[in-house]
Structure 1
Amino acid sequence: MLRSFHVEAGRLRIDEGDSLSLLQQAAWIDLLAPTPEEDHAVEHAMALSVPTREEMSEVESSSNLYRESGASYITVRLVSRPRDQQPKLAAVTMIVTARQFVTLRYADPTAFKLFCARVDKSPKVIEHPRDAVLTFLETVVDRVADILEEIGNGLDVLAGELFAQDATSTKVAVEKDLAAMLRQIGRSGDLAGRARESLLSLTRAAGFLSGEENGDTPHQDRNEVLRLKTLQRDIKSLLEHDAYLLSQIQFLLDSNLGMISIQQNAIIKILSVAAVIFLPPTLVGSLYGMNFEHMPELKWHLGYPMAIVMMVLSAVLPYWYFRRRGWL
């Protein structure tokens, strides 16, 4: 899909079409899973090349951050969470020229939707291409911060359930659904890892914009320099927070595995105690089940009640002893 955004008298106008005049006059061109014809139309209108999907997926910085034909190419990775699917990273390439801002993507992450809403509310942010890039990166950083906050809140709930003060009895430990907790911890770890990858790509993009990675410093006004520095500080703080969350996830993972071991041991203990309790009655029953001729109790009229009493006592006494020692 190809959309062009125009700012006229402070108002935003969106057109869908690949006519040469529309593309050349647009302040922002958005390509979402474009067809080869749409790619060609943008290349013809702007006199530059549009990266392929394979080129966008490359991980080396030289393929993600470079200047060509007077345009800057910046590829970042955003966390995308399609409904009922695992989170994944979606590459978004920004092409910045002196007059226009172009975005190329093959997914529709939430951060991009938030940026579109921001543009719709304040169209002037795309009047200057570098302002548009900075606004987009700031929106992505805000979205990653929301994701990390969501992860942190979820981990707090998991920790509360895992280390509940009343979860000291064997019954509670056995009944707790630790497998479901393990899956939740795994999902949190996966999401935190992808958020970290996104933040690292943003770090490289911010450094590229400030001219730190290619050794030159492009002309920037004071406001842009301040925004870049603030952006870099925010990214650094989020990386530190993400590292803390990953360490907390590892701690909860180890604790959960320890609880699973305790749970299994509790089950084995119950089975072992049950075996010990029923072993003496089984022994008594086996003794009097033998078919020897000379057994005095066989012809005694109180022999059967005596055997029943012996089996009950041999089961009750171990149970009472285990309860007294606190093993049950």
Structure 2
Amino acid sequence: MIVDVATYADGRRAEVEDPAEALKSCLGQAEGFLWLELADPDEGELGRVASALDLNPLAVEDAVEGYQRPKVERYGETLFVVLKTLAYFDDRSAVETGELMLFVGERFVVGVRRGQVGAPDAVRRQLQEDPDRMRRGPHAVLRLVLEHVVDRYVEIDAELERDVEEMEEQVFSPERSSDAERIYNLKREVLEVRRAAAPLVAPLRQLVDSGDAGDAGDAGDAGDAGDAGDTGDTGVDSRGAQAQQVLFELRDVLDDLVRTVEHVEGYDRLLTDILNAHLAQVSVRQNDDMRKISAWAAMFAVPTLIAGVYGMNFQHMPELGWRLGYPMCLLLMVAACTALYRSFRRSGWL
């Protein structure tokens, strides 16, 4: 279904009464652009949008199916961007994933979101409060969406860092606790963030590089045009240069993304080491428990042996007729158990 649709001219929002008509007319506009957002659209609904905007069928198919790997693809003048949006819930230390797909052209932005975790609402409010940025067109929307998504990665990175540090302290604390399940769950959350962030590095770097190349190319074209005296495509060149400049500004976003991916990969390795250390501690504690059990079993075995010997039904045993035989047996049991206890204490078994 349509979540929001509006046109933006000179950085100002204008409501759309007929989305179908707005879709048909947006490509021919001299200025401004259309911003349309869809939530979990079916094939027919997205197909009508694709037909009006001449979107690539392969990209539309990916948007309909969902569950795509984060990527940035260019189809002619249209960029198709797939992002994984993340949300962190501190009360249960859980990371939930959503999906956001963007079709970005010269005169339109079409967002397709899946799941409850999304970014466009906050981005739209922020851009509407800053008309100067909104005037920069659809690529400004793309830049701010990418920045918002990556900023959420950075925030979750900080939350995961705290969780990993707490887990490390707990595992190496003297208190006994069952941490294997918590470590495994935390590794799953780290893996969720890694799956969202890591695949985005390469396509975002290509996007930034295209901005660098675009700046150089625009400068060269401007020089050639000046020599030839050709100024007929000034408006188109200006829009292209502005879009390339916006892409060029994504370098800071790329740096944050790369740093976050490096951190998350480090958390994954550290959690593996913590899990191995925890399992080693469990094994050592089990060995300690077995030694203690064995030591106490040995101490109980001596009185049992003595009582068993003197409990046999023989008539001709030397101590049976002795008046002090019973106290002697008790004293022997106590002395043997005391000697064993001291021996086990010196050896560290108790």
* TM-score, normalized by the shorter chain, greater than 0.5: yes
Alpha-carbon distance, 1:27 to partner? 3.1
Alignment match, 1:232: 254
Q: Distance in 2 between matches of 1:85 and 1:141?
A: 19
Q: Does the 8 Å CA contact 1:77/1:201 hold for their aligned counterparts?
A: no
2:145 paired residue among 126, 133, 136: 136
Alpha-carbon distance, 1:211 to partner? 5.2
Percent sequence identity is 24
- The one-character-per-residue Cα deviations of 1:171-225 (angstroms, maximum 9, x if unpaired) are x4xxx11x3x222222222222222222223223323423559x97784447525
Q: Summarize the Cα distance change of 1:254–1:85 in structure 2 as closer, same or farther, 3 Å threshold.
A: closer
Q: Summarize the Cα distance change of 1:226–1:35 in structure 2 as closer, same or farther, 3 Å threshold.
A: closer
2:84 paired residue among 77, 85, 93: 77
RMSD: 3.3
Q: How does 1:171-320 map to 2 (within 5 A)?
A: 172=175, 176-177=176-177, 179=178, 181-210=179-208, 212=210, 219-221=240-242, 223-320=245-342
Q: Distance in 1 between matches of 2:108 and 2:344?
A: 80
Q: How does 1:85-124 map to 2 (within 5 A)?
A: 87=95, 89-109=97-117, 112-113=118-119, 115-123=120-128, 124=131
What secondary structure, in the 3-state scheme, does the structure 2 residue paired with 1:31 have? strand
Q: Does the 8 Å CA contact 2:66/2:114 hold for their aligned counterparts?
A: no
- 2:12 is the counterpart of 1:2: no
Q: Summarize the Cα distance change of 1:287–1:319 in structure 2 as closer, same or farther, 3 Å threshold.
A: same
Alpha-carbon distance, 1:75 to partner? 1.6
Using structure 1 for the length normalisation, give the TM-score: 0.80
Q: Distance in 2 between matches of 1:21 and 1:41?
A: 12
My pick for the range that moved more, 44-53 or 309-318, is 44-53
Q: Distance in 1 between matches of 2:182 and 2:115?
A: 25
Q: Summarize the Cα distance change of 1:122–1:225 in structure 2 as closer, same or farther, 3 Å threshold.
A: closer
Q: Does the 8 Å CA contact 1:12/1:120 hold for their aligned counterparts?
A: no
Alpha-carbon distance, 1:35 to partner? 2.8
- The one-character-per-residue Cα deviations of 1:140-175 (angstroms, maximum 9, x if unpaired) are 1111111111111011112222223xx2xxxx4xxx
Using structure 2 for the length normalisation, give the TM-score: 0.76
Q: Distance in 1 between matches of 2:134 and 2:284?
A: 58
Gaps of 5+ in 2: 27-32, 219-239
Alpha-carbon distance, 1:10 to partner? 6.1
Alignment match, 1:33: 40
What secondary structure, in the 3-state scheme, does the structure 2 residue paired with 1:3 have? strand
Alpha-carbon distance, 1:69 to partner? 5.5
Q: Distance in 1 between matches of 2:245 and 2:210?
A: 18
Instruction: Give the letter aligned to residue 274 of structure 1.
Output: W
Q: Does the 8 Å CA contact 1:78/1:92 hold for their aligned counterparts?
A: yes
- 2:65 is the counterpart of 1:43: no
What secondary structure, in the 3-state scheme, does the structure 2 residue paired with 1:93 have? strand
Q: Summarize the Cα distance change of 1:121–1:72 in structure 2 as closer, same or farther, 3 Å threshold.
A: closer
What secondary structure, in the 3-state scheme, does the structure 1 residue paired with 2:316 have? coil
Instruction: Give the letter aligned to residue 94 of structure 1.
Output: L
- 2:160 is the counterpart of 1:162: no
What secondary structure, in the 3-state scheme, does the structure 2 residue paired with 1:210 have? helix
Instruction: Give the letter aligned to residue 40 of structure 1.
Output: G
Q: Distance in 1 between matches of 2:116 and 2:203?
A: 20
Alpha-carbon distance, 1:105 to partner? 2.5
Alpha-carbon distance, 1:296 to partner? 2.5
Instruction: Give the letter aligned to residue 182 of structure 2.
Output: Q
- The one-character-per-residue Cα deviations of 1:116-158 (angstroms, maximum 9, x if unpaired) are 2242243245551111111111111111111111111011112
Bigger Rg, structure 1 or 2: 2
